[in-house]
Amino acid sequence: MVPSSVLLAATACSLVLAGSQHPSVQIPDGTVIGFTNNSVENFLGIPYADTPERLRPPQRLSSPFGSLNATAVPASCPQHPLIVDPEVFEQLPPEIFAPLAASATPPPVISEDCLNLIIQRPSSTTPDSKLPVLFWIYGGGFATGSSVGYDYSTLIQESVALGQPILVVMVNYRVGAFGFLGGKELQSDGSTNLGLRDQRLALEWVSENIAAFGGDPDKVTIWGESAGSLSVMYQALINKGDNTYQGKPLFRGGIMNSGALFPAEAIDSHTAQGIFDIFSAATGCGSEDALTCLRELPYEEYLNATAAIPGLFGPEGFRLSFPPRPDPTDDFFSLSPEKAAQQHKIAPVPFISGNQDDEGTMFALPLLNDPTSPLLVKQLKGLFHVTKDEVLERMISFYPVDPAAGSPFNTGSANQLYPSFKRNAAVLGDLVFQFQKRASHIALDGLVPIWDFMSNYSKVEFLGTAHASDLTLLQTQQPSVPYKAIVQYYVNFINSLDPNVNVHGKCGKSLPHWPKWDKNQLLSMHFLDNATIVAPDDDREEAFKYFSGVQSELLY
């Protein structure tokens, strides 16, 4: 488990790194012992909270842990089961189906005792290094996800080569019925949006402890993909935009990959209460004191009962059962996110924010039996439970039946997996991702700096540049042109809060100037296979204008 240290090759713009095989860090709670691999020091499974009581807010560590051997795979939080209609993925060619199936594999170690962090840093980092900190929040629809499986060693090495080394922190937080169950019972108990509370406590831990690891608590950037991206925005909206802890901001910037806002029904709404009631009935806890019963239920019984709640890719279609929901009785997350943004109740920090070109293709896979508009409206009602049919019908009317107009975009008539697949994918991509992002940018225009991007590389059959294509890019470093550009822009932003500025004024390639987004120009950085260009962010403008007027009716 403890590989040998490896030196990173020295260049004119890199540092020579040499670290101990067994790096250790002393913090108030004890000594954390990690391991070194490829010039990166790793510390796995550092607890930032006590073992959480089920369906209660997280609590700070109540006692020191002494000496912690942080070299083994840490526990991930319990996952909502991914119950997939076999036809959903099997309709794809084997070479596309296989990696999707692999991504659905649950983490190797799962436990309710899962509130832990992974820290990665360049070798030879000392407490005096004061490296900028990148705080990673994973995605998974707030139903699944884990920090295990992510490795940002290469990103750290690239930052060193650019002369702007960074430190990465990855957080494990509760998901699904363990972290985002709603209902009046949890509202009255003050135990709503627990996964967001986990993330917040982890950020407070970073503020208190990261300096010992060589990080600068005053230079934290939060970054996430999908539900993690939404979490970045929500952390900026929490407490009505107050992101301070002990008088100092917990973070100074945010990077959002594929997720801006989910306008949501309240925590005690009919939809949220219905999910709580279905779940508690499945556990046998449908009593007057269901919450106490759920808390005392054996773990396996509780976990197995989550299968009663619709999952992301179930036979009934694409569903989001666990979005964070506003709780008007608690300032922590009191407003639906689009309202908070419109009211400018947000931390005053800059953002990089963008999407993949074909966000909706993956989520259109479960709609294979719904080729007509009336059936698509029925499916969309599973996402937007209280939206009027006529609103959805009007929204869909802006999207041509012609497959050449659908997603994957700019692929002509090809990639029509089933009748209306490309149209369905375009609708879902816009309603869930593209239009939510553009609307949030308009709401925040002039209030905080935003640099917008669109990824349009590595289009694969049927899926195009799909949701999570950016994660594949970071893993494979291919195509090299967008990979190098994105890493350099991100590292610049983490160090200087501007993707165009290298704080040391050297290293890296000359890249196009990335203009800030504003509602008059709508300019976005487009990452292509062989080029990086600035282009307008104005696709499907007529549909977006209608969406803008009904956004608050499209509630999850």
Q: Annotated catalytic, 39? A: no
Q: Is 4 exposed, middle or buried (0-12, 13-18, 19+ CB in 10 A)?
A: exposed
Q: What is the DSSP letter of 460?
A: B
Q: 270-309 burial by CB neighbour count: b if 16+ within 10 A, else e?
A: ebbbebbeebbebbebeeeebbeebbebeeeebbebbeeb
Query: Which pair of tokens denotes residue 487?
Result: 């890493």
- Going by C-alpha positions, the residue among 279, 277, 237, 278 that lies closest to residue 256 is 237
What is the enclosing helix (H) or strand (E) of 496?
A: helix 480-496
CA gyration radius for the chain? 23
What is the enclosing helix (H) or strand (E) of 302?
A: helix 299-305
Contact at 8 Å (CB) between 343 and 337?
no
CA 129 – CA 86 distance, rounded (Å): 51
- Going by C-alpha positions, the residue among 175, 187, 408, 183 that lies closest to residue 311 is 175
Backbone φ and ψ of 509, nearest 5°: -85, 160
How far from the centroid of its chain's Cα atoms is residue 3's Cα? 30
Tokens 């499916």 found at: 379
User: Which residues are within 8 A (CB) of 217 and not within 5 positions of it... i.e. 6 or more apart?
Assistant: 133, 206, 207, 208, 210, 211, 248
Query: Which pair of tokens denotes residue 494?
Result: 């983490």
Catalytic residue among 5, 14, 226, 353: 226
Tokens 């002990």 found at: 246
The residues that are catalytic are 226
